[in-house]
Amino acid sequence: MRTKGNLLNTFGKVAVVEGISMIVLVICSVLKRTPGMEGAALGVTYVGWAHGILFIAYVYLLGMCAMRYGWTWRRVALFFVASLIPVAPFFVEKALKREEDHR
């Protein structure tokens, strides 16, 4: 069952927000290079900053979960690579939900 403050639950939420921030950052980056949309550069700056903090939180929580739950190096590497692909953190969150439901 899900409990408030559960490490898996927190990691799942950060994964979703980090994934959303990556998608928004990519969109802003494309718009920045679109004629007439130069104002999107400001979006790249602020969204990039937020995404950086979320990425650090994601990696930190990945390490914490790996230690607490004894995850394999393969799983840790897979979840890390997922943080680099725009939509992959949503699949990480789904996997974490399944694991949390089985605990």
76-87 pLDDT, tens digit per residue, is 999 999 999 989
56-66 core/surface letters (b: 16 or more CB in 10 A; e: else) = ebbeebbeebb
Q: Quick one: DSSP state of residue 85?
A: S
| pTM across the whole model | 0.86
pLDDT, tens digit, 9 for 90 and up, residues 60-103: 999 999 999 999 999 999 999 999 998 999 999 999 988 888 76
Identify whether the C-beta of residue 100 lies closer than 8 Å to the C-beta of residue 16: no
CA dihedral for 36, 42, 45, 50, sign (positive or negative): negative
